[in-house]
Each structure stands twice: as structure tokens, then as C-alpha cells.
Structure 1
Amino acid sequence: MSSEPAPHEDYDVVVIGGGPAGENAAQYAIQGSDRTAVLIESELVGGECSYWACMPSKALLRPIEAADAAHALPLTGDVHPDLVKTLQRRDDFTSHLDDSGQVKWAEGEGIHVLRGHARLSGERAVTITDAEGNQRTVRARHAVIVATGTTAVVPDIPGLRAAYPWTSRDATNLHEVPGRIAILGLGVVACEAATWLAALGADVTMIGRSDRPLERVEPFASELVLNGLRDKGVEVVLNASIESVSRPDARETGVGHVHGGPLTITYADRRAEVDEILVAAGRAPGTADLALDCVGVSTDHGYLRVDEHLTVPGHPWLYAVGDVNGKALLTHMGKYQGRIAGAVIAARASGQPLDGDEFRDLADDGIVPQVVFTTPQIAAVGLTSAQAPDARVVDYDLAQVAGASLEAEGYTGQARLVIDGDLIVGATFAGPQVAELVHAATIAIAGRVPLARLWHAVPSYPTVSEVWLRLLETARS
């Protein structure tokens, strides 16, 4: 259905990349109007998040959280996630890698879908090459939006690429659990993957150059995650690098399958044999084959830099949303940017001024929320204490909140506010199920709500959110 020729080759808006950021941008650019849009996707409409990142990873992690919650109450015996049922649930959330539902949604919104690889071929012109090598060119009356995301980086370590290592796509779409797996990296992808791989029975070793996992979060949060990983049997090797990899029997067996025979890895003056290696060492922007030079656009280490309207400076018809602009590599932030870019395009197309906050990217400047679904969860927004060295730091032990003790026996966690004058500029929560605490902090920071006014936002009792009262009491004392 979606690969048949479009009824016309000119559109008001052309979007390269069919992930959530591109979908949102297309929707907001044409909704409530007679404008037209086309979404060009070379893989699955819905993008990385829907099939290879957010949705499958959280579907794998939720049964583990449920088992941990059961163990934290003296009501049940030993509880473990069932592998077959967990993978079935994961597959249901990824629609079994079938994007027909996403295509139906797009076309229901008036967004045409074309399959193929897209490259710029001139100002407001995009040439698409389909799977058979056929080419067609579409032109945009108002805007071309680049929403091509990022791809996993495989470092140039001797023997690593030849070993066909796993990347995040293999880890989230695993069909078998390696008996022994090494993870290169200590970031979010590495920590979350280690959590579900260990819970599903793998012997996991994490190796990274940093002196702590999740080095961008508050140190107390890193320490809690490190303890949580080690409690699950994960060996975490800090301040170390993998020096070489050898896999004589390397085979491309498909995503999520062990890629051949055992590997030998060397690191920190050690040699070890594992059954698989997962590379979680960062992402690279998907701009290398967009032919940006044909319209005189350069990148910053591959990223498309944009202004507050998500427009590429000097090219008022060209926009970049989501991971590809390097602002915040998070799905919710890409969707936020897509909404802004779409609103800007709609306003410009109808001759309206761009003098409202809805046309400006404000959240990417110090108001970015994120949740890391490890054991325990980490939820943070805004600045850390290291990023605001002159600010006041207020800490509170989450275990002292009545709602936390009801949540789990032996509840361990911590909350921190970073305060500049009378305003919160950062917040971090670490503990079981703290993901639901972070949006209140996001509202406080985005709304620039003074502490005196927050004092009147009374938390319900007995909930973990009572920590807000305790933090504010501590700040006043």
C-alpha cells in the first residue's frame, strides 16, 4: 500500500525519517489544514524507538522490576521472569516488527508514506531510491525535515568488527540469551541491557573507561546503580578498555542470535572467553549519506545544528529534529522538537508570526528529563550539582518517606534538588519506581516555580512523592 506511486510529486512538507520525531513534525505541520506531507523511511515506520530501543527494552525490563517488587515484600516465594513469556511480551510491544499499524496511522493523518533511501538533490528537493534501485524526486513547497536519528557506533578495536558484535538492536531483539556476555560501555544502554541480560540468566561482565557507570548523573545515583548491578551478579570493570577481540568462528546469524562461536577478549591485563559481546559505546548521527553538501550544509561532527525554531541556520526551508541534531538523544525530546518544528512550519506557511513560546525550543536548554530503568531506577531533569557548582544542593533519604517503606521493605534511595536562588534548576531521584516523580520536577523547572509557591503543592499521603515536602523542609531549614 505505502510503496505505490504517490498521486503527486510535490508536497508542502517532506520528512526524511519515519521515527517518532519525524512523525510528530509531519503531523503538526499539516494538521487542521489542506497542506500535504510525505514521510520517507528506509526501514520501519515508527523508527528505532518502536522496534529496537525504548519499547522493546522497557518491555524486557518491566517483568524484572515486577519480580524485584515482589521480592521486596514478604508475601511471595522466589519470583523470576519467564523467558518465553517475557520475549513474547516484548514482541507484542514491537508489533512483531510489523509497521502496518504505524503506516495506517500516518495515512489516516493525511501523511503519505514512501519507502526507500532519501538524499537531498537540491533546495527543497529529495531523491528517493527504493529497494529495486528505482529513483524518484519529490519537492517541498515549504519545508524538508531531517529526522534520520542515530546508529550504534562500533569502535575500531582490533578484531571487534570482524567478530560481528551485538549492538543495541541485538540486545533488545534477542532470541537467545548468551551464557556469557561482555558489554563494552557503562552508559544507559549498557546498564539497562546488563540488567535484563543478568535477570534472564546471562553471566554479564561490563567493561568501560569511566570510573563509574552513568557518569553524567549524580554520583550517588551512579553508586546505587553500581551496587544494583553487582547485586544481580554483574561484574563491573571500571577504568578499563577492551584492547582486542578474537572470534575465529564469526557468523552473521541474524539480529538477536549469537553471532558464531566463543570470543576471546583482552582487557585490563586479562583474557576472558565469552559467548557474545555487546557494544554500547555511543551513537553516530545518520547524516553521512544525505548529500547535505549539495545544498551547502555542513555538520558538527555529523550533527545538524539548528536554531531555536529547529531550522538549520542559513537554510530557512531545512529543519532537523530528534537525535540527528545532537541536542538530546531521547525519544521524548525528539517528539517535542517535532511538535515545535511542525508548529513553526505551519505558522510560516500561513504567514503567522513566531512570537510565542510554542514556536521555540526551550526545554533542550537545561530542562531535559530522563529515566534510566535500572535497579534502582534513576530519574533526573535539569542540571546536576557538577553542572551548577554555585547552586545549593538539598538531599533527602527516600527511605525516610512513609510511602517508600510501604512500597518495599528495605527501600533504598535518595533524592536531590539543585537550587539556584529561589528556583529549582535540577533534580535527581534514585530508587524503586521513582520514574513517576520526575515530571513534577520538570514542571517546577520549566515553569520557574519559586520554592515559596511549591510549598503549597501538597503531596498526597502516604506516597513516595511526599519526598517533595521533605526536600522543601530541608531547603527551608
Structure 2
Amino acid sequence: MTDTETIEYDVVVLGAGPVGENVADRTRAAGLATAVVESELVGGECSYWACMPSKALLRPVIARADARRVPGLRRSVQGPLDTAAVLDHRDDYTSHWKDDGQVSWLAGIGAELHRGHGRLAGPRTVAVTGADGTERRLAARHAVAVCTGSRAALPDLPGLSDVKPWTSREATSARSVPGRLIVVGGGVVATEMATVWQALGARVTLLVRGKGLLPRMEPFAGELIAEALTEAGADLRTGTSVRSVTRGADGTVVAVTDGGDRIEADEILFATGRAPRTDDIGLHTVGLEPGSWLDVDDSLQVTGTNWLYAVGDVNHRALLTHQGKYQARIAGAAISARAAGVPILESDPWGAHAATADHHAVPQVVFTDPEAAAVGLSLAEAQQAGHRVRAVDVDLSSVAGAGLYADGYRGRARMVVDLEEEILRGMTLVGPGVGELIHSATIAVAGQVPLSRLWHAVPSYPTISEVWLRLLEAYRDN
């Protein structure tokens, strides 16, 4: 094969993270010849720098916190975490940043992997530049799926690149614990990484531009997590922006806030948002703007095209791995149906060709201590959407199962009820262990289950899930 030879496939997938892998899995299952292009590690951000390493780091932290709230265990877990063991546990879950297993999986489904940087080179064509500079062209008979994900977005601060700040990648892959860590941001990455590194011994200063943490959730979620971080020893400052950052010859980072405060640390993490990884993938060759989020319909086909798909973070519908994988299953089915000449959207009673969960039933768990979990709309979002709603709140400490789970259990649950249809528009829970409760709420929201039916879904006693009974009682009786 020469460097200029064009190889034909039915489908070319740009990006081999969980989203790209799932698109390829579905198209291969339908018998379509599929190529996957990856410039880094097969398995993507989630496997090596996001979901897996962050949760591997957090699990020992949360387990120790839970044990400290249980009689008979409290005295046994007062010492520090074994940092080396925690980091080794993280390394195991990232396969030590080697992708052999993921490559074998791709080969097992019959997809062909092309290593290198992939760029669109016109309609249905992808040019792949290898590490040695050679180029090959892949032509797609039916579809190209852009699954390149997102990257950390850094603020426009003079000299920031010279400081070499942490992003989510460095925060989840660091080899040692910094003595002092500044975390800039108040979202999921900021709160989770502040939780991890504070527990591992760093002195954490959390600088939040807004009024509180987790601004996309109900306000009480951020409030409870802020209380816990402060009690753990973190210095939390809200309404604070960073004006400048420098790193001295001794390696010390100095951040100056808009209020004039000067904060010193060993490392600084910016967790200030995400940007699409579309700036260098050849979008201009097909009339699209480089660096932009890509607009799609519910089959994940890019607006104005009949061959290009954008799946996962790049379409900005829901920047979560589980939602990206959900979209990938939809996109793979839609691509396969169109390739076979089968009408989509109406051809499957499961709605397998339309991603509708992204519109009203997106679940998310923040793995802090306490955990925060939410699905659907917050009260404010439901009101802004024009729904006539009512919020029903329950203190989780009133639930018998919560008291058994932990002494002094602190938590709160809220369901947002549509008063006209008497269904749930959203649910938020904060407290130890609530992440495992959110799927029941997701079913209720996605299925638009009437509250009158939920009344007959009896929660097991004594579990924290009995909060459902307390919420329904509070709605019915008031």
C-alpha cells in the first residue's frame, strides 16, 4: 500500500473512546465494514484521564469516610490513606496507560484500527497522518462519525501556559500528592478532585467564581458538598476569580485573585469547562467551522448533511460518558438502518434510532463526600421551561435506612413534580450512597410514570430508597 492509496469502508469512526467504540460495535454488528481512527490511546478520555481514574481515586476516599460514620469501625480508620496503594489502584484501572486490551477488543469485533491524527478531507473522506508522517486516506461509503470528545478549556490568562497548570488529565494521573493545591472552578471535576487530593493530604484552596458549587444542580447540592469540603479542611472561597498566575524558579505557583489575595501552592488545577476537540479535524473541508460544537438531529446526524454524524461530547447535548455511549448506540443503529435502506425513527418500537433521553432524562452522579445525584430538570429549570411544578423536599436523615447506613447521616432529596400531569420532571439527592438510587429516579422521569403508580412501587425496608415513600407522602399529604 502506498501513502496515497485510498481504502474504502462502509463507516469511518473518528475517535476510539467509549463513544467511538460503541458506534463501531453497532455498525460491525450490522455487518458494515468499519474503520476506527485514534491519535492517542484506544479507550479515550474516560478510560485513562476521566471516569475510571477519578473514580478509582475517589473510591478509597469515600469508603474511609463511610467507615468513619459506622460504629465499630470508626476507630479503625482514623489514620491516613495509604497513598501508594490508592495510586496503584488508580493505575490498575487505567491499565497503566496502555491500550492493549482495548485494541484487542476492537479487533475482536472486526473493526480496523488506524493509528494517527484523522482529519476530514472532504465529504465521506478521512485523511490519517501517522506518527512517521505518512498519510493514508479512508473513504466511507455510508457514514463518518466524529467521536473526538472534548478537552479542558483554560481561561485566557497571560503566561498561563508557562505555569503548566493541571487540567483534569494531570489531576487524575499525578504520581504524587502536592503539598498545596489550588483548584479553580466549582463544577464536577473541581469538587471531585478537591475531595481526592484533600483526603490524600494536600492542603486544598478552592476558588469558585460563582456563588456556590455545582451550579447546574439544585442549590442545596452545592451547599452540602461545600460544608463537607470545609469540614475536611479545604479553604473554599466563592465569588472569587483568578486575575493572574505565575510559577517561580522554585516551582511555587502564585495565584492572585480579583480581590487582591495572593495564594501560594505547589500545583494549580483549572477545572473551568470543556471545549470540543474539533479544531484540527478538517471541518472546513465540509463547510463547518473548526473548533465548533456540532449541531445534530436526534439520530446524531450533523445538520445539513446526510453522511456525517457527531456523537458524544462534540455535539454538546450532554457531556457525560454514559450519555455519549447511549448516543453511540443510537447513531450506530441509525447508520446501519440507513445503509440498509430501512426507514429510521419509525422502524423500531423502542425508538432505537432517536436519542430522546438527552432532552429530559439525563442522570448524573458527582462522587464527592457526600455524593450528589440528579436526573431531569431542577426546580428552576422546570419553571423556566414553562412547567407548573412543585418541589417536594425530604431530609434524608428521617429515613430509617439512612440512619443505619451512617451515624449522623446528612442528606436531602427533592423531587420536582409536574402538577398538571402528576409526573416527575426531575429528582436530586445528596448524601452518602445516593448514587445508586438515581437510576430509579431516571426510570420514573424517562418513563413519565404517574405518581399514583409510583405509590405502589414499595421500597424495601430498611434502605435509603425508602425516601421514595417519604417524598410521595409529603406530596400527597400537603
**Category of TM-score, reference length = shorter chain:** over 0.9
| SS of equivalent to 2:458 | coil
Indicate yes or no: 2:122 matched with 1:125: no
Extract structure 1 runs of 4+ deviating beyond 3 A: none
Q: Is the 8 A contact 1:310 1:321 kept in 2?
A: yes
Tell me if the contact between 1:383 and 1:427 (Cα under 8 Å) persists in the aligned partners.
yes
Q: Measured at CA, do residues 8 and 162 of structure 1 come closer, stay the same or move farther in structure 2, by a change above 3 Å?
A: closer
1:406 alignment partner in structure 2? 404
**Aligned to 1:21, which of 14, 19, 22?**
19
Does residue 44 of the first structure (1) align with residue 38 of the second (2)?
no
Match of 1:9 among 7, 10, 15: 7
Contact 2:6 2:137 in 1 (8 A): no
State the distance in 2 between where 1:243 and 1:415 align: 37
Measure how far apart 1:23 and its partner are: 0.7
Structure-2 residue corresponding to 1:206: 206
Cα deviation code 1:224-279 (max 9, x no counterpart):
01001101111111101111112133xxxxxxxxxx71012111221122111111
Q: Which residue of 1 aligns with 2:66?
A: 69
Does the 8 Å contact 1:70/1:79 carry over to 2? no
The CA distance in 1 between the partners of 2:262 and 2:6, in whole Å, is 60
CA contact (8 A) 2:365 2:374 kept: yes
The 8 Å contact of residues 71 and 79 in structure 1, kept in 2 or not, is answered as: no
Specify the alignment match of 2:195 in structure 1: 195
| Shift in Å, 1:32 | 4.3
What is the CA-CA distance between 1:188 and the residue it aligns to?
0.6
Contact 2:224–2:430 (Cα < 8 Å) also in 1: yes
Amino acid of the structure 2 residue aligned with 1:62: R
Q: How does 1:256-275 map to 2 (within 5 A)?
A: 261-267=251-257, 268-275=259-266
Letter in 2 for 1:24: N
Q: 1:332 aligns with which of 319, 322, 327?
A: 322
Shift of 1:161: 2.0
Q: Distance in 1 between matches of 2:381 and 2:304?
A: 31
Q: Deviations over 1:369-418 (max 9, x none)?
A: 00001110000000000101231111111111111011000000000000
Offset, 1:185 = 0.8
Point out the more displaced range, 301-310 or 341-350: 301-310
Stretches of structure 2 that go unaligned for 5 or more consecutive residues are none
Aligned to 1:358: 352
Which shows bigger deviation, 270-279 or 433-442? 270-279
Which residue identity lines up with residue 199 of structure 1 in the other structure?
A
Confirm or deny: 8 A CA contact 1:245 1:264 kept in the other structure. Answer: yes
- Tell me the distance in 2 between the aligned counterparts of 1:403 and 1:303: 44
The separation in 1 between residues aligned to 2:66 and 2:254, in whole angstroms, is 37
Q: Which moved more, 1:152-161 or 1:302-311?
A: 152-161
1:272 and 1:465 map into 2 onto residues whose CA distance is 43
Which AA in structure 2 matches 1:369?
A: P
Structure 2 equivalent of residue 383 of structure 1: 377
1:257 maps to none
What's the secondary structure of 1:122's corresponding residue?
Answer: coil
Residue deviations 1:275-303 (CA, integer Å, cap 9, x gap): 1111111111001011112111247x710
What CA distance in whole angstroms lies between the structure 2 residues aligned with 1:373 and 1:79? 22
Displacement of 1:74 after TM fit?
A: 2.1
Alignment check: 8 A CA contact 2:6 2:136 kept: no
Give aligned pairs, total: 463
State yes or no: 1:284 paired with 2:275: yes
Indicate whether 1:316 and 2:306 are aligned. Answer: yes
* Map of 2:241 onto structure 1: 241
Shift of 1:8: 7.9
In structure 1, stretches of 5+ residues that fail to align are 250-259
| Amino acid in structure 2 at the alignment position of 1:364 | D
